[in-house]
Structure 1
Amino acid sequence: MSDESPVRALVVEDEFLLLALLEDLLPDLGVEVTARARSLEGALAAAKSPANFDVALVDVNLGGERSYEAVDELLAAGIPTLFITGYGSGSLPPRFAALPVLGKPFGRDDLARALAMLCGQRMATR
């Protein structure tokens, strides 16, 4: 990734309004949404073909199913991953303790801070 090109992201979110919010906020933060999934099945398919994105933002609960299997695939592929959850970071399995977490509800500044943790200072200056 060069500093001039936007970071490409996979966004996994089952709630339409939150997906729309993320798609609205991310470009202002230097992130281009290049892949989307609204279910665990879609997230798994995307995780197995990570060539279209550099990072992933993944909701924990996808229609009553946990996204952990997809996150395991993303991490195995070397994709930096951010959890999005209303449950808090304490509800995640210990194997995900080092991953950044964006708590719901969130605003633009919260998202910017989480992306900075995920991608480094490059995101914080946009």
Structure 2
Amino acid sequence: MARERRLSLSGTRVFVVEDEALLVLALEDLLSDMGCDLVGHAQQLEDALSKASALDFDVAILDVNLGGVRSDPVGEALARRGIPFVFVSGYGEAALPAGFRDCPLVNKPYAAASLQAGLLQALGRRDPNAAASTAGSP
């Protein structure tokens, strides 16, 4: 039962940083299907930085490239707050910022299973018990 609780995303509060409005809508649907609550989203770096420090959430999804501007500063702000996050990109692992190579990456286009796995991986990094129970998972 404890393992099932750790693998559930139900009630998880998510902040999304994505510059493409249609992808935000798609993410909102995927997150809702997983039982997550979208607490806010930002499409530009300045807005993302403001909301990253003001909103209360459990995990964030960060598009690596926001219309030609990198989202690295948002990742840095979240790391300072101790909030886990997942990067998303259509460019693969090479797109990850150098300081965040160990962060979960979900490739675009989004697939529900890979998004869920990335979120669980990110959340597990914050909870040692969850990390131990999911170690060795793909």
Q: Does 1:118 align with 2:93?
A: no
Match of 1:45 among 44, 50, 56: 50
Report the alpha carbon displacement of residue 29 of structure 1 after superposing the two structures with TM. Answer: 1.1
After TM superposition, where is structure 1 displaced by more than 6 Å over at least 4 residues in a row?
none
Give me the TM-score of the superposition, normalised by structure 1.
0.86
Match of 1:109 among 98, 104, 113: 113
Gaps (5+ residues) in structure 2?
125-129
Match of 1:29 among 29, 34, 40: 34
Alignment of 1:1-126 (within 5 A): 6-50=11-55, 52-120=56-124
Report the alpha carbon displacement of residue 13 of structure 1 after superposing the two structures with TM. Answer: 0.6
Deviating more after overlay: 7-16 vs 106-115: 106-115
Q: Which has the higher helix share?
A: 2
State the AA in 2 paired with 1:38. Answer: Q
2-structure distance, mates of 1:80, 1:14:
20
RMSD: 1.9
Give me the TM-score of the superposition, normalised by structure 2.
0.79
Greater Rg over alpha carbons, structure: 2
State the AA in 2 paired with 1:15. Answer: E
Identity within the alignment, %: 43
1:8-50 deviations in whole A, cap 9, x for unaligned? 0100111011100000110221210001111111111012224
